[in-house]
Amino acid sequence: MAHACLLRSAFTTVNLLLLEEQDFIARDEIEIVARDTRYQHIKKILRLAPPDTLKAGVWQKHLGTLQLTAFDHHSLRGIYQPHHDITPSPSPIDLILGATRPIVMKRLLKDIATLGIRSLTIFASENGEKSYLASSLWHDEAYLIPIKEGLSQGVLVHPPQINLARSLHHALKIRNELFSPTSYAFILDPYSQEHRQIPSKIDMTEQSITLLIGAERGFTPQEINMAKEHFFRPLAISPRILRTETAVTASIILAQQACF
């Protein structure tokens, strides 16, 4: 199933060859068929041939290297060597995001995966279109396509945990059920008269950050009050009204800076 997602994905430049369990034909040997976009990337963009090596990683497991051993018109084969000591874990950042148009969400999923956060919960906001969560993007795991592209871009193997929520109330319930109480929780609200800043340094071994960002039309007063009841503090990252993509990327980067 996930392999099929890779076959349908757009032909893009990647920094990591992302492997999956079904690629392995032996304990450490993989095979990728010619119709797979990864084969085409290695052949046409990277222009590699045996015995060349390249960065690789196994989905949800570890980073490593792949040494090519065979390359013909039908498939390529290689030996994979894992490097457990250099595989980064996701940043302890959880993003709760109002559902946006599917074409925008595809770009967001790729960027969010590249940044390497722990989880992403998409909720149907009161101001947003309820039909967004019924999009084909959320059927048959089509959302994995941009996520895998993002992981390959960021040289990562651990995707964010994806959750869908009927409302903000449902999204907050999911967060509370899946994770221990969040140390810091912020709602991106450019209209608030009271703004906080993300702390400059956070001990990520025991603490985490939750970011709450609305959809294109923003939050309703009821949603803002609900967030405050759950101890979300207003956060402003710019004096301007930002696009959703810009707000998401900037907020995650600011949160990650506090993690290092």
Q: Kindly state whether residues 116 and 198 are assigned to the same domain.
A: yes
What average pLDDT does this structure show over 32-40?
A: 96
Q: Kindly state whether residues 125 and 223 are assigned to the same domain.
A: yes
Residue 6 scores a pLDDT above 80: no
118: in domain: yes
Q: Kindly state whether residues 64 and 26 are assigned to the same domain.
A: yes
Q: Kindly state whether residues 157 and 237 are assigned to the same domain.
A: yes
Q: Kindly state whether residues 58 and 127 are assigned to the same domain.
A: no
pLDDT band at 4 (very low <50, low <70, confident <90, very high): very low
Give the pairing of strands 161-165 and 53-58: unpaired
First to last CA, the chain: 36
Cβ atoms 212, 185 nearer than 8 A? yes
> Which residues contact residue 94 at a Cβ distance below 8 angstroms, ignoring those fewer than 6 apart?
117, 118, 119, 120, 121, 175, 179, 182, 208, 209, 210, 211
Tell me what percent of the chain is helix, strand and coil, each rounded to the nearest 5.
Answer: 35, 25, 40
Cβ atoms 227, 187 nearer than 8 A? yes
Give the pairing of strands 17-19 and 53-58: parallel
Q: Kindly state whether residues 176 and 74 are assigned to the same domain.
A: no
What average pLDDT does this structure show over 51-56?
A: 96
Q: Which of 116-125, 179-188, 247-256 has the lowest mean pLDDT?
A: 179-188
3: in domain: no
Q: Kindly state whether residues 130 and 68 are assigned to the same domain.
A: no
Q: Which domain holds residue 25?
A: 11-86
For residue 82, what is the enclosing H or E element? strand 75-82
Choose the final residue of a domain: 86, 121, 139.
86
The pTM assigned to this predicted structure is 0.89
pLDDT band at 13 (very low <50, low <70, confident <90, very high): low
What percent of the chain shows pLDDT beyond 70? 89
Burial class (CB in 10 A: 0-12, 13-18, 19+), 21: exposed
Choose the final residue of a domain: 52, 86, 120.
86
Cα 88 to chain centroid, rounded: 14
Q: Kindly state whether residues 48 and 99 are assigned to the same domain.
A: no
6: in domain: no
Give the mean pLDDT of the chain.
89
Which pLDDT value is given to residue 3?
Answer: 41
DSSP letter for 24, please.
B
Which pLDDT value is given to residue 144?
Answer: 97
User: Residue 54 belongs to a domain with what CATH number?
Assistant: 2.40.240.20
State yes or no: cis peptide before 92, omega within 30 of 0.
no
17: in domain: yes
Choose the final residue of a domain: 86, 102, 133.
86
Q: Kindly state whether residues 123 and 247 are assigned to the same domain.
A: yes
Which pLDDT value is given to residue 5?
Answer: 43
pLDDT tens for 193-245 read 676 666 666 666 667 899 999 988 889 999 999 999 999 999 888 878 889 99
* Number of domains composing the chain: 2
Q: Kindly state whether residues 134 and 81 are assigned to the same domain.
A: no
